[in-house]
Amino acid sequence: MIIDTNVYVGQWPFRRLPGSALPELIAKLQSHGVTEAWAGSFEGVLQEDVAGVNERLAAACHGSGSGLLIPFGTVNPALPDWRDDLRRCHEEHKMPGIRLHPSYHGYTLDDPRFAELLLLAAERSVAVQVVLNMEDERTQHPLAAVKEVNTLPLLRLIFKTKGLRLMIQNRKREPSGKLLGRLSYAGEVYFDFAMLEGVGAIPKLLKEIPSDRLLFGSHHPFFYFESALLKVKEAGLNESQENAILSENASLILGP
Amino acid sequence: MIWDLHVHFTSFEGRTPHEKMADAVKFADRMGIERFMLFLGFPPHPPDPTPEELTRINDQVLEALQHWHHRAFGFVYLNPNHLDFSLKEFDRCVRDGPMVGVKLWIARRCNTAELDPIIERAAAMNAVIFQHTWLKVTGNQPGECTPSELSELAARHPETPIICGHTGGDWEHGIRAIRANKNVSIGIGGSDPTNGFVEMAVRELGPERVIYGSDAGGRSFASQLAKVHGARIPEPDKQLIFGENLKRMLAPILKRKGMAA
């Protein structure tokens, strides 16, 4: 059983990703034993009609896959009236979480609007995913090249935001060193390993963060789903550790 | 059968080549990799190595092969900026030693004439030639060549098989750049496991020109194996990519040296 916390629906604007059509995506996930997939929208990365993006995401997730896809809506605090997007995600679409793309939406994590968004999400018990990267900086489309999100401001915000459940996705280099460990102990902060590289990267990460803070995230269909799956195999973990990462840790996040 | 085209000592634990190889083989066994090609010595890797540095680096690989020749083949690291020395180093490590290929990295752009004698020397011995390529939106390093520059080199040596390392990183560009050079195969390692890479490569180049490699230990074996395991291509194509293509490419030099595959 796998809970994949990092899946996308829709079309990535710069590349046709095989198997991204909804029926194929669902079949692929189910074939690997995924029982829940937390899905954001590729459309939310660049489009400004976020309300429309979230309506389509909710319809796609609720209309197919027998509950497999759990929608994580887009909120862009750099847009006017973003608070209503959060409200709609929560009240109208019953989304348990939101997914943020700060680098593509043009704000940094020390932006006061971001701090307010975390606060409002926490008050609503809406989980927050912050995506640090979508792909290797070196291979981005030259007209849409962004940098990895700087996570340094997060530590202060986590201390200030009671009830926040925060997932850091697609971490490559940042946060690192002491900040990585401090973030994971400061509050309810989780990480996935979709973009983590290097042989045996998962065991190395588990020396820095508690094992209950690591989540399975594939970044599929942008990445081949098998990448995350094989990283778990490469890690050589015991059964208890594997089960925690594959599903048990995530299963505790979206509860009441 | 999985053979890995592209492995370094980087990130493997151990103080000696033997210890690092033991760690690499532990992971390779876990992931079903039977053999791998090893090149460059202990990091950091000098981008424009002196003759002394080349000797030290290649000696580390030779030392690793002493104990692990049943699991790895070695490629000699050469620098066209030190051409005379590099030709002698080729003779030491390949002609007279156990290595079976050549690794060219970022010392000099690969379309320059200084590479020609190295290519000719390697071709004469049927040594496999691996040239690093990247095309970075963030900017290449001074001597770092692109797949288009490799295409120029390959066009001057149309009968010599050459591997385009990393497929340029920007593989959609890289595949197109070398598509017309029938003597060029691509190494798919050392980039993100982006969905669609191998499908496009097989569609545009045919499965015989696509070779699995990881760039481990800087990359995980897992993410790079996933490019083939996850690709929507026929199973026989996967077998070619995972090992048969590389084995076919190595066969002449292994036969010449009397080495077992």
- Looking up tokens 């691996």 gives B130
What are the structural domain ranges in chain A?
2-254
Q: pTM of the prediction?
A: 0.97
Pick B220's closest partner by Cβ from A139, A201, A221.
A201
| Separation of alpha carbons A230 and B224, rounded Å | 9
Asked if B31 contacts A234 with a C-beta cutoff of 8 angstroms, the reply is yes
CA distance B225 to chain A (A): 7
The pLDDT, as a whole number, for residue A176 is 82
Widest CA span of chain A, in angstroms? 48
The pLDDT, as a whole number, for residue A66 is 81
Does ipTM come in above 0.90?
yes
Question: Kindly report the CA angle at A212 between A207 and A217, in degrees rounded to 5?
Answer: 90
Asked if B173 contacts B140 with a C-beta cutoff of 8 angstroms, the reply is no
Pick B31's closest partner by Cβ from A223, A227, A234.
A234
Is A39 in a helix, a strand, or coil?
strand
Residues of chain A with pLDDT under 50: none
Q: How many CA atoms lie within 13 A of A20 on its CB side?
A: 25
Question: Kindly report the CA angle at B84 between B78 and B86, in degrees rounded to 5?
Answer: 15
The type of residue at A47 is Q
Residue pLDDT, tens place only, B92-149: 999 999 999 999 999 999 999 999 999 999 999 999 999 999 999 999 999 999 999 9
* All residues at 6 or more sequence positions from B139 whose CB lies less than 8 Å from its CB, including other chains: none
The pLDDT, as a whole number, for residue A120 is 98
From chain B, the residues in CB contact with A201 under 8 A are: 220
Q: Are strands A127-131 and A165-169 parallel, antiparallel or unpaired?
A: parallel
Residue pLDDT, tens place only, B41-99: 898 889 999 999 999 999 999 999 999 999 999 999 999 999 999 999 999 999 999 99
From chain B, the residues in CB contact with A145 under 8 A are: 137-138
B195 shares contact with chain A (CB less than 8 Å): yes
The pLDDT, as a whole number, for residue B162 is 98
| pLDDT, mean over chain B | 97
Residue pLDDT, tens place only, B55-66: 999 999 999 999
Give chain A's radius of gyration (CA, Å): 17
Average pLDDT for B166-183: 98
The pLDDT, as a whole number, for residue B237 is 98
The pLDDT, as a whole number, for residue A256 is 59
Correct CATH for A2-254 of 3.30.1330.40, 3.55.40.20, 3.55.50.30, 3.20.20.140: 3.20.20.140
From chain A, the residues in CB contact with B222 under 8 A are: 227, 230-231, 233-234
- Residue A6: closest CA among A33, A27, A29: A29
Sheet holding A97-100, edge to edge: A2-9, A34-41, A69-74, A97-100, A127-131, A165-169, A188-192, A214-215
